[in-house]
Structure 1
């Protein structure tokens, strides 16, 4: 929304930016390549193992949903928006897209349960190239109709579908080639990112020569294929490609919004039809499409209704609409110029309606994930088991992960949530939903392993939210690890794993103290023994703030202080 607002201000309102004058004929290719890279990046986030729980729903939305959505969108465009049939049919095909550039960040922020999250993510990425192909089919049909009045859709659709399949095969073969070259050292490590992106652009341009917009199919297939191949280099590439996607999304939104002309918005200002069409899109077309598509599936009704409501549109809708608005004008079909303004209206209204209501609707339909930030404890030790019990007692989601079933025995006896497996194994990412856990504490007795875990998850969770115990001062073979690869050291005193586990054996416990206006942090400290150690603050919102050797959070009224105290301190507090 901020990018759209910036584009409107810079373009139609103030005239500071005129993208068409600045870039000329390069504007459309720039936007097309940007959209291709965005879809490729989205494809890299799709893992086929997610389809175990949502595959049937995704398949139906990608087949039945496409036909139903196209039909209802075209009918709404003709009867409600007042578009002529060719424009209505073409726009109905474009409206199939649900915008992964908007859907994925929205789902990440709203913390939705795994299955509806997976359905919406897959639908958004898979249906983007599908919507583009539907628009191409409609355009080619009406173009053929201009030349041959007796032409039918069956004269147009098969060649286009064959071109889409061929483009998908080229994308698949290109991904397999990259997956073969990268692990064998054929490409130097520092060149893997540019080679990958040049390959994506090359595949997109090549397959677009086969048929317009077929390149979107190719790059999407390419991304999904690479995401499901064992390519170790892709893990190091992920941060860069995500940053590139954010920059492209922001830039393209501004350029497209700045490209608007006031005469393209006249239709929206002078008629009741656009508003009625937008309401029909929100409350009729999308719900009917989803509910009809998911009839007979085992998806619960609350999840169906949630998916039926969430369908924000994004860059692909605007980019494709602008492209075909020009092509319809070249065919002499009236009304094509309306598409640009109407597509922007669809983006603005759906982003506002769905973006600002997603949290409320998710709570209402009970598809919200854990709302309180959780703690992921790596390593099952006496100390982590005691900490997990304390976290559970204050209502914070917690999970203990360890690859040893024997070490997990204590956690099993306490009935604590646990996962048996290697946290660094790629399979763990697909077998375990890590989204509820915003804090990671690596507390095994192997300091180097703890640092490796923290460094691996720093990008996903945040460098400031990965912690480990202090360095093992008692080890003769201790080598000090660089701070850049370590997690933040818990406790101001920097206790190591051996020290905290020994203290647990000596009877140390965790103690929680609620702060208020009358009983502040200084009062709480007076209740503790001198050798007690402060561990964390729990805000009323559930946010966790740890005391470390480098950071001391500022306590305030309403916070709960959790400290690690010796038995005598616990007795003193009880007195």
Structure 2
């Protein structure tokens, strides 16, 4: 039964199911869509009858292509193209010409088609497209350089292919045999499409930027204007609507409204639906007998495209760019065509049939033969070919940190120093390499699913200052990596701390808020550092008030510490910590000694420390300074409580304040105001002209030794060098 409603309903349902199934099976979706369309079409099952739509088929194809090309325009990045390696720029210029002219010459020689029709056939197989190449790259983990080249070729080349195809169609459909009239007509068509696309894009961008439309209506508002721009352009000049939607998408992408990420997600979902419907309809529409009509000629054309033209494109584009032979061979092998080629071929085939061109149906046949062969043969064999050529990337386990820029960068630097692969997105994607060319801008963040530097992300930490930002980021990344591997730096009482609004695991809830930490990092009050630990050996007092472990590191794995104030024993050999810097402590402690004599006294402890000072400064008047210190101790003790005493003196023989520490496990014969015997003596010697420095050093000593748990940790040590390292950790 040729029912148009049933045809559309079955196409939509079957297309969606096949895309989902292909994702589960990890095969290119177009393979299943092409087979599904043929099986559901009139030549087999008869559930889908594209002819029942009549002239409406062109409308459906046009609107679906408009959505696909607008989504493609949103992914375009002028700045990304400018930063792209020269090989990509060559592929989009020299490579396009080689493919276009190479296919055109082949078709002309093999089938005897006229130059205009042969050039149109060549233009239709220029494009690869991200909708085809991206799923393949997610399955095949090639090196970053190859991933970058293939992905950006797919993103940028769709728009170029559309422009070239429209130009060729203009020449072919023009009643004038010359070249000037078709070119002039194309330029007029280009101006109409570009102008209306610019207007639509600017209206969308301005309206969204000024929040004239609520965020929940932004997607449908943008879609309606895009469809209006497409229809208006086509009403003025046929096919100019294709140029209009690409232009509108590019304008919105360049202006970067805050809703851009959500818009891309919405348009991507619509694009997948459109691809499913289109491929079912278009493959059901194919007349399989046409393939046998072309016979060996078709095999020759496809073979030349795969084994001559693509390798020639790649070897010309990579000339002098440092690519290895195996890298060139892999790039030569992988160039699958997709929905843009298929839809443009069907659209122009319908147009040419209306003009009475006898080869119109064969134009579609050639394009679909290239699509089917490249997707099935190259797409399915890509993993095996990559392994055989040795171009596979060794997978990493990557942490992604999103949110406050300074905090994100500090955490990523700490993780990387600990040997963990980590990235952050601030003004640029950072943490992967110091090479500026390896960074991408925020414009490209929405393409993170396909950027090779984010391909290995399996755990995410959100450090946004605003709860709404954390919620939006959590919804995206929890879906990708799983809620159990998506963490949100949250403090109790914030809106997203204990609700389902943020599908991420709350963590670091006993730490200050991310915004506060970021400011402290910028002011050098806090620091993220890497410390050595011993797995499963707890050191009470080492972590707590001043040093909070955020990650335990074992080999190449980072385990997040959910409560840094009560971390428990380390589970790795390193720790990435957030520490409070104690001003004046860096370089202050010159020496540490243990006083183990029986019945130690304050005089004996100070004398022992002065001897250590004299070892460094032989001219030190030991007796004079000792008498001065003990005289002050007799009138006003420097025992401050907690078992700590800080005797101090001025002497012009030192260039800066220096402290010498004595640990007395048994306790001295003096006690502090709390009655606790002194067990830690920190002697401070400073130049007479550095009173402020002297007071700052005294404050640092009192600060670091006021932590009871840390004092107990120091007294449990048996090696002076270990005590010095523990003190240095807090500097």
Q: Same fold (TM over 0.5)?
A: yes
More helix by share: 1
Distance in 2 of aligned mates of 1:283 and 1:159: 36
1:510-521 aligned at under 5 Å gives the runs: none
1:302-313 aligned at under 5 Å gives the runs: 303-313=327-337
Taking a change above 3 Å as real, the CA distance of residues 39 and 213 of structure 1, as seen in their structure-2 partners, is same
- Give the alignment partner of residue 403 of structure 1, picking from 398, 407, 410: 407
Higher relative contact order (CA 8 A, sep 6+): 1
Matched position secondary structure for 1:278: helix
**Structure-1 residue corresponding to 2:380:** 356
Taking a change above 3 Å as real, the CA distance of residues 478 and 345 of structure 1, as seen in their structure-2 partners, is closer
8 Å CA contact retained: 2:395, 2:456: no
**Structure-1 residue corresponding to 2:455:** 436
Taking a change above 3 Å as real, the CA distance of residues 181 and 80 of structure 1, as seen in their structure-2 partners, is same
8 Å CA contact retained: 2:37, 2:281: yes
- Give the alignment partner of residue 395 of structure 2, picking from 345, 364, 371: 371
Asked if 1:227 is matched to 2:227, the reply is no
Q: Return the offset for 1:344.
A: 1.9
- Give the alignment partner of residue 255 of structure 1, picking from 264, 271, 281: 281
Q: Return the offset for 1:103.
A: 1.9
Q: Return the offset for 1:102.
A: 1.1
**Structure-2 residue corresponding to 1:464:** 483
8 Å CA contact retained: 2:467, 2:495: no
Taking a change above 3 Å as real, the CA distance of residues 489 and 450 of structure 1, as seen in their structure-2 partners, is farther
Larger Rg over CA atoms: 2
Taking a change above 3 Å as real, the CA distance of residues 478 and 329 of structure 1, as seen in their structure-2 partners, is closer
8 Å CA contact retained: 1:290, 1:308: yes
8 Å CA contact retained: 2:50, 2:284: no
Distance in 2 of aligned mates of 1:126 and 1:281: 20
Matched position secondary structure for 2:498: coil
- Give the alignment partner of residue 485 of structure 1, picking from 482, 502, 526: 502
Matched position secondary structure for 2:501: helix
1:417-456 aligned at under 5 Å gives the runs: 422=426, 427=441, 430=444, 434-442=453-461, 452=471, 455=474
Q: Return the offset for 1:70.
A: 1.7
8 Å CA contact retained: 1:84, 1:334: no
Q: Return the offset for 1:196.
A: 0.4
**Structure-2 residue corresponding to 1:137:** 167
Distance in 2 of aligned mates of 1:173 and 1:33: 19
Matched position secondary structure for 1:80: helix
8 Å CA contact retained: 1:403, 1:422: no
- Give the alignment partner of residue 59 of structure 1, picking from 84, 89, 95: 89
Offset from partner CA, 1:417-464 (integer Å, 9 cap, x none): 566775999956759964233322438798969955861642673443
**Structure-2 residue corresponding to 1:566:** 569
Taking a change above 3 Å as real, the CA distance of residues 509 and 83 of structure 1, as seen in their structure-2 partners, is farther
Distance in 1 of aligned mates of 2:485 and 2:570: 29
**Structure-2 residue corresponding to 1:391:** none
Offset from partner CA, 1:352-391 (integer Å, 9 cap, x none): 12212333344455554442443336799xxxxxxxxxxx
8 Å CA contact retained: 2:38, 2:283: yes
**Structure-1 residue corresponding to 2:543:** none
Matched position secondary structure for 1:357: helix
Asked if 1:45 is matched to 2:90, the reply is no
- Give the alignment partner of residue 96 of structure 1, picking from 126, 137, 151: 126
CA RMSD of aligned residues (A): 4.5
Q: Return the offset for 1:177.
A: 2.5
8 Å CA contact retained: 1:125, 1:220: no
1:210-359 aligned at under 5 Å gives the runs: 210-267=236-293, 271-295=295-319, 303-359=327-383
In the alignment of these two chains, the number of paired residues is 496
Asked if 1:20 is matched to 2:46, the reply is no
Offset from partner CA, 1:89-144 (integer Å, 9 cap, x none): 32112122223321233234434445444443443344334334434433443444
Distance in 2 of aligned mates of 1:163 and 1:450: 42
- Give the alignment partner of residue 39 of structure 2, picking from 9, 21, 37: 9
**Structure-1 residue corresponding to 2:216:** 190
8 Å CA contact retained: 1:440, 1:467: yes
8 Å CA contact retained: 2:478, 2:504: no
8 Å CA contact retained: 2:64, 2:274: yes
- Give the alignment partner of residue 79 of structure 1, picking from 109, 114, 124: 109
- Give the alignment partner of residue 69 of structure 1, picking from 88, 99, 102: 99
Q: Return the offset for 1:324.
A: 2.7
Most deviating of 358-367 and 240-249: 358-367
Q: Return the offset for 1:226.
A: 1.7
Matched position secondary structure for 2:55: helix
Offset from partner CA, 1:438-495 (integer Å, 9 cap, x none): 32243879896995586164267344364337987xx6999852033141368xxx99
Q: Return the offset for 1:351.
A: 0.3
8 Å CA contact retained: 2:233, 2:244: yes
Taking a change above 3 Å as real, the CA distance of residues 26 and 353 of structure 1, as seen in their structure-2 partners, is same
Taking a change above 3 Å as real, the CA distance of residues 263 and 417 of structure 1, as seen in their structure-2 partners, is closer
Matched position secondary structure for 2:265: helix
Taking a change above 3 Å as real, the CA distance of residues 461 and 569 of structure 1, as seen in their structure-2 partners, is closer
Offset from partner CA, 1:396-426 (integer Å, 9 cap, x none): xxxxx96277777865764655667759999
Taking a change above 3 Å as real, the CA distance of residues 228 and 299 of structure 1, as seen in their structure-2 partners, is farther
Distance in 1 of aligned mates of 2:472 and 2:218: 24
What are the ranges of 5 or more consecutive residues in structure 2 without an aligned counterpart? Answer: 1-30, 430-439, 513-528, 537-550, 574-731
8 Å CA contact retained: 1:443, 1:497: no
Matched position secondary structure for 2:459: strand
Offset from partner CA, 1:182-212 (integer Å, 9 cap, x none): 1212123332111100111122222334543
Distance in 1 of aligned mates of 2:464 and 2:346: 59
Offset from partner CA, 1:197-247 (integer Å, 9 cap, x none): 011112222233454333222222322232232310122323222211111
Q: Return the offset for 1:306.
A: 3.5
Q: Return the offset for 1:10.
A: 0.3
8 Å CA contact retained: 2:318, 2:328: yes
Distance in 2 of aligned mates of 1:133 and 1:463: 41
8 Å CA contact retained: 1:136, 1:212: no
TM-score (norm 1): 0.72
